[in-house]
C-alpha cells in the first residue's frame, strides 16, 4: 500500500515536471521554437483551435518560423491570432504560408522573461508540494485505519520527502537551463 501511494505521487510529480517544461517552452528566447506558438488559439470556423492542429510549424533557420496551414482559408485567422498574442511577433504573409522572424531580445526583456521563468518554476514547486501533501494525508489515513504502523508511516513519509526533494531539484535544473537559454546572446 505504501508503494502504491509513493508510486502514484511519483507519477503525479513526473506529470508536473512535464507541465512545467511545456509552460517554459512557451517563453520566447531569441531562437525560433515551434512550441512558442503551437498553442495559440486560432478562430477556425468559429471554434478556438490550437495552431498546431490546423497548420504545420517549422523552424528552418535559427530565427525563423514558417507556418503552413492545411486550409489556406485559415491564413488570415492565423495571422490575426498571432498578432493578438502577446508575443510581439509580426507575421509576413507569403501566398499560402506565414513567416515569423524572431527578433533579438533586449537585455531588459531578457530580465523580464527570467522573472517569468522564476514565477512558473515556483508554481511548479508548489504543485509538487501539493502532491506531497496529498500523499502524506493518504499515508496518515492508512495509519488511522490500522493498515500500516506508525513506524511504517514515518519511514514512508521520509521516502516521500526524498522523492519530493529530487523532483524539486529537477524543476530547478529545468529552470536553470531555460534561464541560461534566455540570457545567452546570439
Q: Where does the pLDDT of residue 29 fall: very low under 50, low under 70, confident under 90, or very high at 90 and above?
A: low
Give me the domain span that covers residue 8: 2-25+106-183
Please indicate, yes or no, whether residues 125 and 153 belong to a single structural domain of this protein.
yes
Determine the Cα–Cα distance for residues 73 and 144; give it in Å rounded to an integer.
62
CATH assignment at residue 121:
1.10.132.20
Task: State how many domains the chain has.
Answer: 2
Identify whether residues 163 and 111 lie together within a single domain.
yes
Same domain, 114 and 173: yes
Tens of pLDDT, residue by residue over 161-184, are 999 999 999 999 999 998 888 777
In whole angstroms, give the CA distance from residue 20 to residue 124: 6
User: Residue 88: what pLDDT?
Assistant: 72
**Whole-number mean pLDDT of the chain?**
87
Whether residue 186 is predicted with pLDDT greater than 60 in this model: the reply is no
Q: What is the pTM of this model?
A: 0.69
pLDDT-derived band at 74 (thresholds 50, 70, 90) equals: confident
Q: Given 43, 68, 101, which residue is the final one in a domain?
A: 101
Question: Is residue 55 domain-shared with residue 68, that is, in the same domain?
Answer: yes
Amino acid at each position: 500500500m505504501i508503494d502504491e501511494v509513493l508510486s502514484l505521487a511519483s507519477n503525479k510529480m513526473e506529470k508536473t515536471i512535464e507541465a512545467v517544461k511545456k509552460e517554459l517552452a512557451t517563453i520566447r528566447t531569441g531562437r525560433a521554437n515551434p512550441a512558442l506558438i503551437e498553442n495559440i488559439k486560432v478562430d477556425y470556423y468559429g471554434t478556438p483551435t490550437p495552431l498546431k492542429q490546423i497548420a504545420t510549424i517549422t523552424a528552418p533557420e535559427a530565427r525563423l518560423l514558417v507556418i503552413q496551414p492545411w486550409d489556406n482559408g485559415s491564413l488570415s485567422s492565423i495571422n490575426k491570432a498571432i498578432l493578438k498574442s502577446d508575443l510581439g511577433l509580426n507575421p509576413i504573409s507569403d501566398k499560402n504560408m506565414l513567416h515569423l522572424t524572431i527578433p533579438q531580445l533586449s537585455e531588459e526583456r531578457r530580465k523580464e522573461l527570467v522573472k517569468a521563468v522564476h514565477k512558473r518554476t515556483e508554481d511548479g514547486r508548489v504543485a509538487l508540494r501539493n502532491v506531497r501533501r496529498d500523499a502524506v494525508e493518504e499515508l496518515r489515513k492508512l495509519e488511522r485505519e490500522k493498515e500500516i504502523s506508525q513506524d511504517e508511516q514515518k519511514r514512508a513519509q521520509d521516502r516521500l520527502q526524498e522523492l519530493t526533494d529530487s523532483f524539486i531539484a529537477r524543476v530547478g535544473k529545468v529552470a536553470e537551463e531555460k534561464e541560461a537559454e534566455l540570457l545567452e546572446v546570439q
